Amino acid sequence: MAKLPKVPKPDMARVAKLSETVPMTRHIPSAITLAGLCAGATAIPLALYGHWQAAVAAIVLAAFLDTMDGWIARLIGAGSEFGAQLDSLVDLVSFGIAPSVVVYLWTLSQTGGAGWVMTLIYAICCAIRLARFNVESIDIDAPPAKHFTGMPITIAACLILLPMQFTFQFSDPALRDPMVTAAVIAIVSIMMVSRVPTFSLKRLHIPPNRRMALAVLAVPVLASAVIYPWATLSTGLIVYFSTIPVSVIQFANEARKRRISLRDDDEIDFTA
């Protein structure tokens, strides 16, 4: 009987040295990312037990944590390729799988196989959107782009839950119609995989002379979010969706300016 090869013992001194050179603060963004995964995945059992508001709240919490992990990573300089890949995998679960399953259990299950197909279409579009984003964001140290290509997956997840948010505020049974939910999923899925430029809140620039006014305006908004959370969230989503034509126009103007600048550079006579 052939002997199995000996497995070399790990160099514990080297492992200890590596752990000393990596500060604990660098793990904070990944910890927040994993907390977002737990929040997003928890939405599924909450939906299974019919706790619809709690399920939507779990996905919204995951979206908040997804925003915080990137912001903190840039703040403390803890961005890494591992963190970027982990964030992408977590996004697929929290904003691709979880919200689509919640919506399916809420209303699409009434349509049988057709409802499940819509669920799969949304999940597939989420995977495509994330894969494209990863390819376009190879340089993790580069500043975030001013525009996203297509709708961000976090916004998309909240938007397909918009009919549910309306039912938390109104008692109209038409809002729970599977056709309404399917139409919302179709629009959102197309927007995710499209090349339509949408605003990136990560590069939102606020002039210094307007920051105080924005801070004052944030007070009633936060108060509204506490008192009327679903109305505030749904209003914010509608406002964001309505800004897409503005982002398209702005992106086109910036692209035209870049073309003019490049053309002017080509026309410079360096021999003069």
> How much of the chain exceeds pLDDT 90, in percent?
38
Closest to 42 in 3D by CA, of 107, 80, 97, 122: 97
Q: Say whether pLDDT at 272 is over 50.
A: no
Sign of the alpha-carbon torsion through 216, 220, 221, 222: positive
- Rounded distance, CA 165 to CA 235, Å? 10
Q: pLDDT by residue (tens digit) across 41-88?
A: 999 999 999 999 999 999 999 999 998 887 887 777 777 778 888 888
pLDDT tens-digit profile of 149-179? 888 999 999 999 999 999 998 888 888 899 9
C-alpha span between 20 and 261 (Å, rounded): 49
For residues 137-160, give the mean pLDDT.
75
The amino acid at 98: A
* Token pair in block for residue 14: 């080297």
Cβ atoms of 102 and 43 closer than 8 Å: yes
Beta strands 197-199 and 147-149 are antiparallel
Q: Give CA–CA dist 113/192, Å, rounded.
A: 23
Weakest-pLDDT range from 6-10, 167-171, 255-259: 6-10
Residue 121 pLDDT: 95
Q: Which two tokens stand for residue 178?
A: 């599977």
Average pLDDT of the residues of the chain: 82
| DSSP string across 96-120 | IIHHHHHHHHHTGGGGTHHHHHHHH
Rounded distance between C-alpha atoms, residue 48 and residue 207, angstroms: 46
Look up the pTM and report it. 0.80
The Cα–Cα gap between 46 and 58 comes to 9
Q: Taking residues 184-207, what's their average pLDDT?
A: 82
Cα–Cα dist 48/221, whole Å: 32
The pair phi, psi for residue 109, each rounded to 5°, is: -65, -20
Mean pLDDT of 92-106: 95
pLDDT of residue 105: 95
Give the span between the Cα atoms of 158 and 46, in whole angstroms. 16
Q: Compute the half-sphere exposure of residue 17: CA atoms within 13 Å on the CB side of its CA.
A: 5
Q: Which amino acid is at 8?
A: P
pLDDT at 180 over 70: yes
